[in-house]
Structure 1
Amino acid sequence: MPHGTMQKEQPCPSIIERKTGRLIQEEEYGQKAIYFLYHHFLGRLLLKMIFARPYFSFLRGLYYNSFLSKKDIAPFVEKYGLSKVLLKKNYQSFGAFFSRKEAVYLREAGKENTKENGEAWKEKLREKGQAGKRPFYATASGKLLTYKIDQEGKIIFPGNENNGKSNPLPLEIKGNAYSIEKILKAPCPEFLKGGTLLVFRLSLPDYHRYIFPTEGKLLRRKKIKGRLDSVRKEAAHFKAFSENKREVSLLELTGMGKILHVEVGAMLVGHIHNHFGSKTFSDKGDQNKKKNLGEKTTKFDRGYQQTFRFTAGEEKGYFSLGGSNIVELLNEKIVIDEDLFENTKKGLETKLEIGERIGYGKA
């Protein structure tokens, strides 16, 4: 595309709502502005010099965290069809409204996020016994894309696993393919090979708190400095995974093994706020045991520090104002529901809700 021209946008349904099967088209505040910034020469120049810089997000955050921004809440709720109950709560700023805390219940896929459905699903799991099948839950509300990871650690488009094709994240920017190595700034760990990669895209109307997908312990956290590009589709959002500010957590899930959980900050997101788990303990004994058994340690295993236990559905953290992404890299013991792969193969993101079951851990 020539630098000085803009391609005409071709809006079409690109999201499928898992609960209803309905195809929907997403609309966001500032959609045309984002398209200009990423698809026009002048826009890209302004983006590089101003809008993707952390200070811009900081300055915008000053307004959205002030009482002056309260007037923006009602139009936002109306535009995106959010619950009118939110207007009855006395949020002191748009930022406080955006990072609000709501009750989250673990439940069967497609069920409403209510205490009743959450309790009913737990009872159903108890009745089934779930032999060798621990449920794996959606860590966030948003739009999901699902990929395979091959035995070489490459990200494969669903359906290409057995035909010899390697199709890294299906987007290239100036010839650069976005890989696990670029996301982590480290080689792909052995435990991820043969597994799955999940991409949760949180747009402005989505709930911006996230949970642990099942019980386990948090072993390590690593912060990676970077820019604050947009994660919207108009902005070629895969680029954000390798260049944006992000935080990587190494989790060991009970009965499911290790996974990596990555929060990716975005334009207007000043901070990624992570909590610690509910209980702490020393991991020194685990590391000594590994050494005695002659097992190799990865970059995420080394060093000594406290680790933290968490329960399924426990809140892991939240994002400040803005759109965001969460990337989860799973080992092969975790089986993700086939409908999520099928939607990705069709070029559709799957809209789902935090806490709904999206897979299980096999024995």
Structure 2
Amino acid sequence: MQLKQMRVGMLYVGGFVGPFAAQSLAAVIPDIAVTFDKTVQEAAFAVTAYMIPFATTMLFSTAIVHRFSPHKVVRIAYATTLIGAIICMLAPSWKIFIGGIVVMSLSNAFTLPILQVIIREVTHPDKLGGALGRYFAMQSLGNCAAPLVAGFAAIVNWQLFYLAVIAVALAMVVIGVPGIQPLAKNTTSEKVAWPPMIVHILTILAVGMSIIGMGAVLTIHLESVFSMPASQRGFVIMAGGLAAFFFAGRIGGAVDKYGALRVLTACTLAGAAAIALVPHLGWPVVIALCWAVAFVGAQGIQTTVTYSALRTPGGTKFNSTVLAFRFFGLALTPVLLLPIYFRNAAAGFAVPAALLIAAMLLQQWQGRKTAA
């Protein structure tokens, strides 16, 4: 295979490694607690230590591509990821481990959005939806594979999981991604279309809160209603990542064929309906199917919003800002939606479904306004 083709392929491998590294933490929190003599609640801080710096840095990380070549930024970021993974694997203390987590978090903030910028630059406009769909499919695979790999590693030593992160990061550094020049100055000075950009931000925030973040609520629901052990709950959650991996590419192709707004509407309606149904179902297998539909919907919405944002005036510069709100939304779910669930299970799933519908209506309103 030619080096150029390999580098294009590495764009999608890069979409895998970020979620793969992040999701592994949730799978081994009890093991982290034992290793560093912490309570489970204290060990769960590792997830927060990853998400908060990651999402905050993403608010502005894309702007760097107007000063430096994006492929060079990505290579440096994966070299930093490599260092962070080595620190986490060898960390002898809690503080050093958290330091390694933060290093990986900050570096991932310069890979996820910038890889998407490179994909836009090297892909024909008529095929951008399909390319983004493949990228998000690899993200879904990373989300799905992380608990499995981390679980097997924990049989010997959970920290050995980072060998997988080290291997992928090293491949990203050695092979690299397609080279492009820093974005032109006239792109940097392009006036940002704020109304659609704000709608995109609110939509991604709703997806983070109402579907992706609801994995934690679903886990609690499965344990409280069905008394399911962790291993079985994990399979239900994994159904979402697997389904999104298989369907994200097709959704991206549908964006190219039918348009972003139509696909977003279909994905939102399906995702909202699936989430709202969960507390009314008495069979875990059916709940797993609903979760799969909801997660596919979430990936579809994210694909369409990214597609639209990158094609909006000023969208390249603010793409990372839009994406960051997915993770802020995820962080808000335990604070805003979990208390509702504890008061009333049906409302705990109905409210996020309503938030998704509200975001869809905003998108349709903005679409009509733009077309007028």
Shorter-normalised TM-score: what interval? under 0.3
What is the TM-score normalised by the length of structure 2? Answer: 0.25
> Which has the larger strand fraction?
1
What is the TM-score normalised by the length of structure 1? Answer: 0.26
> Which has the larger helix fraction?
2
